[in-house]
Amino acid sequence: MNVINFVSSFFGESAHWHGYDGIPTRLWEHVQYSLEALVLAAAIGLPIGLLTGHYGRGGNVLSLVATAGRALPTFGLLVVTTIALGFGMLPVMVPLIVLAVPPILVTTYEAMRSVDPPPVDAARGMGMSESGIMLRVELPAALPLILGGLRSAAIQIVSTATIAAYVSLGGLGRYIVDGLYQHDYEKVVGGATLVAGMALATLGLFWALGRAAVSPGVRRSN
């Protein structure tokens, strides 16, 4: 049976659309895990990236931190945190956040540093405070790149949140892990297809967010 037949059989089976193991339930669990990890990663990465980018300090340190974060194996970190903290959401959140913070942090820093100096100098000359310059002048101009970093982090989280199934939680990874254990490749392919579809939906969501949040003038200049 080829992949198309696997996909057709998986989505055509009515049992996969109902109950605790149904597609709507698993999809909602995956969205919850992904959204929680993205919010926590953004709460860490955005403020640090904004401040360091505004003041132009700490770029080398951020690069080292980002490189270290990307070098850590996500599954290995999941195993370590589960041994240290036990089963639950926290051991899942730790590797997902470690995965997502570097692109948010580095992209936000670079976005702030890429803002043209003349508007910043003009705002400073008019007596605007540093926080006002950062939030009202630099942030709107840097927003397209910042959203790009958030988009990259979100897609990585969505694709990797399947690890939750390895510590007995739900999400779309449940189909992949259970399918491999049961030698049910229809379920494995169906789960992988759902994850890929969710990643594409995330791309579309950030495209729409960029259209809504970024001013037309800034979009045309990028």
Residue 109's CB is within 10 A of a number of other CB atoms, namely: 28
Segment 3-26 mean pLDDT: 85
Confidence of residue 139 (pLDDT cuts 50, 70, 90): confident
Query: What pLDDT is recorded for position 35?
Result: 96
Question: Which sequence spans correspond to the domains of the chain?
Answer: 3-221
Compute the distance between CA of residue 171 and CA of residue 166 in angstroms, rounded to an integer: 11
Residue whose structure tokens are 């926290």: 90
Query: What pLDDT is recorded for position 12?
Result: 81
Length of the chain as a residue count: 222
Compute the distance between CA of residue 154 and CA of residue 8 in angstroms, rounded to an integer: 28
End-to-end CA, the chain: 46
Q: Residue 49 is which amino acid?
A: G
pLDDT over threshold 80, residue 217: no
pLDDT over threshold 70, residue 220: no
> Closest Cα partner for 149 from 66, 217, 90, 73?
66
pLDDT over threshold 70, residue 218: no
pLDDT digits 0-9 by tens, 23-54:
999 999 999 999 999 999 999 999 999 999 88
pLDDT over threshold 70, residue 120: yes
Query: What pLDDT is recorded for position 222?
Result: 56
Query: What pLDDT is recorded for position 221?
Result: 58
- Residues 6 or more apart whose Cβ sits within 8 Å of residue 74: 95, 96, 98, 99, 160, 163
> Closest Cα partner for 102 from 164, 45, 35, 31?
45
Share of the chain above pLDDT 90, in %: 45
Confidence of residue 16 (pLDDT cuts 50, 70, 90): confident
Work out the burial of residue 6: count CB atoms within 10 Å of its CB; fewer than 13 is exposed, 13-18 middle, 19 or more buried: buried
pLDDT digits 0-9 by tens, 157-209:
999 999 998 888 889 999 999 999 888 888 999 999 999 999 999 999 999 99
Segment 100-115 mean pLDDT: 91
Residue 77 phi, psi (nearest 5) = -65, -35
Residue 39's CB is within 10 A of a number of other CB atoms, namely: 10
Segment 90-107 mean pLDDT: 92
* CATH for the stretch 3-221: 1.10.3720.10
pLDDT over threshold 60, residue 1: no
Q: What is the 3-state secondary structure of 69-103?
A: HHHCCHHHHHHHHHHHHCCCHHHHHHHHHHHHHHH
Better-predicted residue by pLDDT, 218 or 131? 131
